[in-house]
Every structure is written in C-alpha cells, then in structure tokens.
Amino acid sequence: PVRRREVVHLMNKNLPRRVVDTLRELGKVGDGLELPVFAIGGFARDLLLGGKNDDIDITVEGDGILFAETFAATHECRVKSHAKFGTAVIVLPDGFKIDVASTRLEFYETPGALPTVERSSLKMDLYRRDFTINTLAIQLNPANFGLLIDYFGAYRDLRDKVIRVLHNLSFVEDPTRVFRAVRFEQRLGFQIARHTDNLIRNAVKMGFLDKLGGRRLLNELVIILREREPVRAILRMESLGLLGFIHPDLTLETENLRVLDEVKKVVTWFELLYQRDQVETWVVYFLALTSLLADAAFFEMCTRLSVSEHYREKLIDMRVHGEQMLAVMERKVAGKKPVLRSNIYFWLRGLSPEVLLYIMAKTCRDEVRKFVSLYVTQLREVTCMLTGDDLKAIGLPPGPRYREILDAVLSARLNGEVSTREEESRFVKQMLNFV
Ligand code: CTP
C-alpha cells in the first residue's frame, strides 16, 4: 500500500540529509557485493509514523560482517564485528553508529546459552521479532531504494494503532516483551490487540515472568520510567498484574498515584529550566512508585531487581534523606516558624536533583514546594567569596573551624547580610572578635 516514492519522500522530509545520504551509500555498497540491504525495525516503524529514530538497524541478506567491513573501508569508518553473532557496528567519522546484522536463524541449546547462528532469509529473521509493527524492512539497494517490505501486516497495524505479537509463544520465548508491549502501547498511543492482551495475562498467570532475571526486569522498568509518559504505562502495568513481579507489596494507591502525577509536573518544570541530562527522571518516578513500600520491602525489591549494592545504598539513602528533609520542612511550616533562606540552603544542600524533585512531588504543602524551587533556581548556586586562604591570611590556624566559619559567611550572604567581599571579611572578623 505504501509506494517506494512515498517512503523516499518520508525519508527526505523527516531525516537529516546526511542520514539519507548514508542510507543510499549503504545500498550502493550492498550492490557492490551483490547483497540485499535493508533498514529494519524501529527505524522503519518510526519513519512510517512520521517521526525519526536515530538508531539505524541494518540487516543484510548474507554476510553482514563482510558488508560492514567493506563499507567501513570505503567510507573512512571504524567497524567492530562480532563474528559469533554475524553482527557489526559501523562508527562514522562523527561518531554516528549503525548496527549491522546478518539475517539469521537462532537455535538456543539451553535457555540463556549463546545461540548457534545460522543464516536464513529476511522473512525468517523478521518473524522472530516481538511485534508486527517492528517487522518492516526498507530496502536500500539503489534500484529498490525505499521499497517497503511488509510480510506480517505491519503497515495495517501501524495504521490501526495496534500492538500485536506474531505468534502465540512470543511471550514465552521472551517475557521482557510483556513490558515492551506496554511501553510501545503508551509511547505510540496504540492499543495492545485483544489476543495479545490475553497472551500477556496468560503469561502472567502461568508464571512465565517468574523466569525473568532481575537485571532484565530492571532494565525494562528503567526504560519505561524514562519514557515521556511513564504514569500511563505504570497504570497499564498494574492493570495487567505486572507490578507484583517487581515486588509483591507494590501496588498503586491514591497516595503514590498522586505523587506520580506530581512527578510529571515537577519534571516538566525542571526540564524547562535545565538540560534534560541534569536529572535522571526515571529515579524520581522510581522513588515515587515505590514510596509506599516499607524499608524492608524496598531492600528486597532491589535484591530482586539485581540492583548493585552500591546503587541500592544510593537509592536507600535518597529515600531516607528525602523523607527526613521533607518532614523537617513540613514541621517548620506547620509550626509557622519563620524560615530563612540559609535554613533552606542547609536543609537541602547535598541532596541530588532527583531527591529534590521527589520532595517537591511528595509534599502537599505549597510552602515546602516553594522552598525547594527557590533552592533549585537560586540558592544552590550561591557561594561565598572568601576561601580558606583568606582565613589563613587573617591569621586563623587551619582546622575544622574553617568550614563552620565559611558556612556562617555563606548564611550571611544567603540572608542578605553581606554582599561584597569586604563585608564578608568584616563579618568574619566580627565573628572572631578581631575588631
Ligand atoms: N526485539 C525483540 N524482542 C525483544 C527485544 C527486541 O523482538 N525482547 C526486536 C524488536 O523487533 C525491535 C528490535 O529487536 O524492533 C530492536 O530492539 P530495540 O532497539 O530494543 O527496539 P526498537 O524497536 O528500536 O525500539 P526503540 O525505539 O525503543 O529503540
């Protein structure tokens, strides 16, 4: 139903020029080796949906490694090959990466063992994929550049906005697909097809997900929490009975749902002000999602998800510290005690942006939210001008008092009592009774 011309038009419209040029070059190298070359999977899917996807996955019907090495040799690229899997990564001079695979059929000897690889056709290769919408291939060889290959009704499902598996054993083969289904459904605004939905519920009921290793489960959860709209995906996971696999006590209640909705707002606020990479948003959602778990259950969950010991301690620290500071601030506000800017600074100093956002989401008090936002937008950048060297110059012997004195100067600055270097100096001298 989609003509070659239309696919090429979509490429020209939605992809940067150099990406389209690279795709054409890949096709030419394929012709030189007499190998059919295709761009497949998420790349083809997102192109047809009118978006773009920076991950270019190439499949070669034949020797993908030879193809990648030939391309690299003629285009000043580096290449990393994995002979065992018939895959390679081409790294363009500007760092852009292209994954290359050979069409293959995999035989698993035992679950988890490395597959023995044998070559097969493109169709067989695509049949092994998770959902129909990921089975499109776009040919890149010059004579057929832009030809859409659709063996399994992918185009129809893209048009109907449906997530559908290719066969009944899909979730048994790979239980992570259950989470992928939820992720694609929410990300694309699609619907999991009825039969596929039943297969998921069946996989849950039959315990197939129990076999899923903690690492893989964590990985899927993190990817979901990194999406634009994780809350909808979390609701969907709950409706499919998936949260219990993260921890049996993990449920959605009015309270953690409220916090999750608030996380969305504060994350949006933060990202408007700062770069996206300044905060790990998934951590904020994770803390909110699990906020009702008891400490022991939280610990168990981390173990279940194979969170490294180091990271587990970090998460526990975030949780504990966040709750502590939240309680301190809420108590202050409830007691109607005056709060200085320096108080806010020292309460929140040392908390990561993730915890700060978590506190903002969790609190029901506007005042507390304002404290944190004041800290994030203004106070955390404040420093005093004097340094340890200045204290030494005044004749103060170095020691732990340096820190106390500099913090006092910083407090004075935060509260507007000093603003110049001279005023800071005077402040210190007065403090030490030097004048
Ligand atoms: N795939 C699969 N089963 C999995 C993981 C991946 O069948 N458990 C297939 C999918 O068909 C997918 C391809 O491998 O198209 C590449 O996987 P990935 O890069 O994770 O997915 P994308 O579709 O590219 O999605 P995203 O846009 O999130 O990168």
The atom number, within ligand 1, closest to the CA of 53 reads 27
Say whether both 202 and 293 belong to one domain: no
The atom number, within ligand 1, closest to the CA of 176 reads 8
Q: What is the widest separation between alpha-carbon atoms in the chain?
A: 88
User: What CATH number is associated with residue 331?
Assistant: 1.10.3090.10
Say whether both 224 and 331 belong to one domain: no
d(CA 260, CA 57): 34
State the residue for tokens 């083969």.
173
368-398: b (≥16 Cβ within 10 Å) or e = bbebbbebbeebbeeebebeeebbeeeebee
CB 287, CB 319: distance < 8 Å: yes
Decide whether any atom of ligand 1 lies within 6 Å of the 219 Cβ.
no
Decide whether any atom of ligand 1 lies within 6 Å of the 170 Cβ.
no
Q: Please state at what angle helix 230-239 crosses helix 214-225, rounded to 10 degrees.
A: 130
Decide whether any atom of ligand 1 lies within 6 Å of the 362 Cβ.
no
CA distance to 71, 186, 351, per residue, from 53 (Å): 22, 17, 35
What per-residue confidence (pLDDT) applies to 116?
56
Decide whether any atom of ligand 1 lies within 6 Å of the 187 Cβ.
no
* Rounded to 5°, angle at Cα 63 from 62 and 67: 115
Decide whether any atom of ligand 1 lies within 6 Å of the 183 Cβ.
no
Say whether both 151 and 21 belong to one domain: yes
What per-residue confidence (pLDDT) applies to 120?
61
Say whether both 241 and 137 belong to one domain: no
Pick out the chain residues at pLDDT < 50: 105, 119
Decide whether any atom of ligand 1 lies within 6 Å of the 146 Cβ.
no
Say whether both 152 and 8 belong to one domain: yes
- Listed residues 337, 358, 380: the one ending a domain: 380
ipTM above 0.85, yes or no: yes
State the residue for tokens 């992918």.
154
- Listed residues 380, 396, 415: the one ending a domain: 380
The atom number, within ligand 1, closest to the CA of 135 reads 11
Dist. CA 130 → ligand 1 center (Å): 7
Say whether both 53 and 152 belong to one domain: yes
CB 163, CB 185: distance < 8 Å: yes
Decide whether any atom of ligand 1 lies within 6 Å of the 70 Cβ.
no
Domain that holds residue 64: 4-158
Q: Which residue puts its alpha carbon closest to atom 15 of ligand 1?
A: 41
Q: Which residue puts its alpha carbon closest to atom 28 of ligand 1?
A: 42
Dist. CA 180 → ligand 1 center (Å): 8
Say whether both 145 and 178 belong to one domain: no
Decide whether any atom of ligand 1 lies within 6 Å of the 130 Cβ.
yes
What per-residue confidence (pLDDT) applies to 383?
92
Say whether both 349 and 336 belong to one domain: yes
Say whether both 357 and 404 belong to one domain: no
State the residue for tokens 């100096």.
425
What per-residue confidence (pLDDT) applies to 280?
94
What per-residue confidence (pLDDT) applies to 8?
96
User: In this structure, what are the phi and psi dihedrals at residue 203, rounded to the nearest 5 degrees?
Assistant: -60, -40
From 128, 130, 190, 227, the mutation candidate for ligand 1 (largest count of ligand atoms within 8 A of CB) is 130
Q: Which residue puts its alpha carbon closest to atom 23 of ligand 1?
A: 42
Q: Give residue-wise pLDDT tens across range 353-397.
A: 999 999 999 999 999 999 999 999 999 999 999 998 998 888 888
Q: What's the per-residue H, E or C state across the chain?
A: CCCHHHHHHHHHHHCCHHHHHHHHHHHHHHHHCCCCEEEECHHHHHHHCCCCCCCEEEEECCCHHHHHHHHHHHCCCEEEEEHHHCEEEEECCCCCEEEEEECEEEECCCCCCCCEEEECCHHHHHHCCCEHHHCCEEECCHHHCCCEECCCCHHHHHHHCEECECCCCHHHHCCHHHHHHHHHHHHHCCEECHHHHHHHHHHHHCCHHHHCCHHHHHHHHHHHHCCCCHHHHHHHHHHCCCHHHHCCCCCCCHHHHHHHHHHHHHHHHHHHHCCHHHCCHHHHHHHHHCCCCCHHHHHHHHHHCCCCHHHHHHHHHHHHHHHHHHHHHHHHHHCCCCCCHHHHHHHHCCCCHHHHHHHHHHCCCHHHHHHHHHHHHCHHHCCCCCCHHHHHHHCCCCCCHHHHHHHHHHHHHHCCCCCCHHHHHHHHHHHCCCC
Dist. CA 42 → ligand 1 center (Å): 7
Q: Which residue puts its alpha carbon closest to atom 9 of ligand 1?
A: 129
Dist. CA 99 → ligand 1 center (Å): 12
Decide whether any atom of ligand 1 lies within 6 Å of the 134 Cβ.
yes
Q: Give residue-wise pLDDT tens across range 175-210.
A: 999 999 999 999 999 999 999 999 999 999 998 888
Say whether both 329 and 192 belong to one domain: no
CB 138, CB 146: distance < 8 Å: yes
Q: Which residue puts its alpha carbon closest to atom 25 of ligand 1?
A: 42
Decide whether any atom of ligand 1 lies within 6 Å of the 53 Cβ.
yes
- Listed residues 338, 359, 380: the one ending a domain: 380
Dist. CA 204 → ligand 1 center (Å): 21
The atom number, within ligand 1, closest to the CA of 130 reads 7
User: What CATH number is associated with residue 96?
Assistant: 3.30.460.10
Say whether both 397 and 310 belong to one domain: no
Say whether both 237 and 251 belong to one domain: no
d(CA 194, CA 383): 59
Dist. CA 43 → ligand 1 center (Å): 10
User: What CATH number is associated with residue 209?
Assistant: 1.10.110.30
Q: Which residue puts its alpha carbon closest to atom 22 of ligand 1?
A: 42
The atom number, within ligand 1, closest to the CA of 184 reads 28
* Number of domains into which the chain is organized: 4
Half-sphere exposure of 328 (CA within 13 A, CB side): 14
Is residue 403 exposed (0-12), middle (13-18) or buried (19+ Cβ within 10 Å)? exposed
What per-residue confidence (pLDDT) applies to 108?
53
